[in-house]
Structure 1
């Protein structure tokens, strides 16, 4: 069958199955198999299911995922997040204007020791929103800060999205983890600036906003010291180990999980339920990602057979002399995709199509992956899906529509200024990876 007709049929199957409520992994598998069958017949489909799907799931690169997810579960269930947040508020001495910035920075810090945007958003929603409200922040504004801060986990290493991207494009996970550090810091700074601006703008409307309304709950000094030391040690071990070449990303995930488990033991949090629930959630999340990757393998094979990337390059041929315009178009596509889809799903669907075009205008897979991830951060807080926003809404019972009024501002600010900085100065991405041993 003509590939153009097959492409139209696959798009219809994709849309019907997606809006019919199927999981994204099932949507990718079904659409890919239908497309391959229409173009080359049934035998390649059978061979793909028998051989390539196993090769995908057995990839060494993906062993990084369960170890980092397990580390994330240990962190959340050992209450390290809660202790660190309390410590931040106490050391800020109740300076309300700074508290929002501290929340953003803490979101980035916790993202570095977790990697789960939804988990961090939910955790910050539980602990940050009540504390911010005590210090005069409106509950909706406070919830929006928690959602934005939690979304930083998608770009601060370890990031499951970056691992998936690296596996698909065969880009070094180590380079991705190190390359995202400076863009991650830039994103945190931009987000902090807009939070401070909104805070002072609202404080003029409500002069009593900076009045302290309550006391932050205090825990033992021992808990604070152990939690802070654990966070610092994990960051040094993971980022330092990868940067220096001591650890592979997989080994770094194992080291991080081990450090966190020891901290949980010292804090007295480890019991049968702690272990069982941590491994149960790790298996669920890892299985989900593996199924998405299998779906991506099948769907990518169809994309290759359909010659869609080549057709896209031919269609946009007149624009190839304007690399910046091409990149803006591609990033706009990703921004819209992240508004509707979970990050890993958007990556596996679009990267095989868009990366060849990005490479044709001079951007390496490393540069494209990092810039795309920053856009993904904005997508996590943008309607209609906005996973981070819904996570905060779920734990705070604050209307997601109200939270979106603030998070849309953050998303636009990050998308415009964050991507502009990285597009104009790609050296900010490549400098640290190029200096790795």
Structure 2
């Protein structure tokens, strides 16, 4: 198992370092694992995984939300959002960098997809933050990490999968995800404020100082936020009002963004075509990576490395706290090679008896599991959000990884806080039953 693990890591590292497309690096690693370390033929597995990963109905939401972000960016509505927020955030350390965190949290509540949140919010915010003189590494770090909340904030596909497999109430899981999501957002905002106070403001990394203005002018500028709020309200309202599924709400978001941009006077045929083709390019890039990751996930399953690691932990006889620490390390390693749903299915199939015996609340454990899956989205070498950011910015993966490291550590802190204070996750579900 050790030789196989080293071979897989070295192959992936060499392919990524050689500069080939990310999807090809994932495919090549999976091909080596299947060809040299298993009796299975790689070709049929590749064909099956590419088909299965590319035609699901849920994937329809991804290009739709990306197209919506392109329309908002190209029609000037993103600039309106910054103009409306800047007077109110000017005195807060970090200023407009907070839009990445707040915007990702709001959009995560709309679509439930980490990749869609990262691509859509990033398309709106990264060019504006760069133009206004903000530190690019901090902009990347806040975006990549905060967009992972799409997996935790309802509607969450991960929580639905966990609830179905473990026979837990999905509504209680949704309620349990709210407290930890707010905790992680607060940790991110607190770190950004501290960074700005200690370094950012002094070194001019938090943009140009927006001139102060009287209250009346602030309110007039805030009016520029109304179209964005209408858009978000329309999407969220259609989902929670039972009028549309998250996938259908993505199409509603595109229509609303076109209508709002048209009434804003900044939408024409050229913006329509440019935004459409840009969304197709970004969506195809993400879909290709998803297919490559699916192939690597299957290859890892055939090699049985994840199952052997999980069984090894079960034989250690650890205390509940040490079990949680060891399980976190194991899941972070496996999260480098498995997608989130596969990771949840593996844990529930093999490790769940250990969790029951250790006395963990299964609602709490579901939230913990999704937070760890979130962390795997920004964990190299195959952290998915890192690749989305790379596609948006063109920066190398090491630079993006360094930018996200502080936020990765903050998510580890959130797990520790949840362990010490489980009511962070359990208060709302327990209140539901009263």
TM over 0.5: yes
Answer yes or no: is the 8 Å Cα contact 1:39–1:305 preserved in 2. yes
Counterpart among 56, 59, 68 of residue 71 in structure 1: 68
- Answer yes or no: is 1:256 the counterpart of 2:257: no
Superposed CA RMSD in Å reads: 5.1
What is aligned with 1:18?
16
In the TM superposition, what is the alpha-carbon distance from 1:67 to its structure 2 partner?
1.8
In the TM superposition, what is the alpha-carbon distance from 1:11 to its structure 2 partner?
5.1
For 1:286 and 1:388, the matched residues in 2 are separated by 10
Answer yes or no: is the 8 Å Cα contact 2:82–2:96 preserved in 1. no
What is aligned with 2:128?
127
Instruction: Give the number of aligned pairs.
Output: 406
Cα 1:305–1:433 shift into 2, 3 Å: farther
| Deviations, residues 182-216 of structure 1 (Å, cap 9, x unaligned) | 4332222112222333444459x969999x95538
What is aligned with 2:27?
29
Cα 1:208–1:10 shift into 2, 3 Å: closer
What is aligned with 1:276?
273
| Deviations, residues 163-182 of structure 1 (Å, cap 9, x unaligned) | 8968998979x989876544
| Deviations, residues 296-338 of structure 1 (Å, cap 9, x unaligned) | 3333333222222221123223445345434434545676899
Answer yes or no: is the 8 Å Cα contact 1:24–1:292 preserved in 2. yes
Answer yes or no: is the 8 Å Cα contact 2:105–2:150 preserved in 1. no
What is aligned with 1:146?
139
For 1:199 and 1:249, the matched residues in 2 are separated by 36
In the TM superposition, what is the alpha-carbon distance from 1:272 to its structure 2 partner?
2.6
| Deviations, residues 321-378 of structure 1 (Å, cap 9, x unaligned) | 345434434545676899xx8xx98758977766756645436795355302543576
Answer yes or no: is the 8 Å Cα contact 2:86–2:96 preserved in 1. no
What is aligned with 1:117?
118
Cα 1:248–1:122 shift into 2, 3 Å: closer
For 1:124 and 1:238, the matched residues in 2 are separated by 20
| Deviations, residues 115-162 of structure 1 (Å, cap 9, x unaligned) | 44366456444434665x7xxxxx64xx555334423552344899x9
What is aligned with 2:55?
58
What is aligned with 2:375?
375
Answer yes or no: is the 8 Å Cα contact 1:36–1:305 preserved in 2. yes
Cα 1:29–1:375 shift into 2, 3 Å: closer
Answer yes or no: is the 8 Å Cα contact 2:69–2:123 preserved in 1. no
For 2:17 and 2:222, the matched residues in 1 are separated by 46
In the TM superposition, what is the alpha-carbon distance from 1:55 to its structure 2 partner?
3.0
Cα 1:318–1:183 shift into 2, 3 Å: same
In the TM superposition, what is the alpha-carbon distance from 1:33 to its structure 2 partner?
3.8
Cα 1:268–1:190 shift into 2, 3 Å: same
TM-score (norm. length: structure 2): 0.70
What is aligned with 1:136?
none
For 1:149 and 1:11, the matched residues in 2 are separated by 27
Aligned partner of residue 38 in structure 2, secondary structure: helix
Aligned partner of residue 40 in structure 1, secondary structure: coil
For 1:277 and 1:123, the matched residues in 2 are separated by 15
- Answer yes or no: is 1:292 the counterpart of 2:292: no
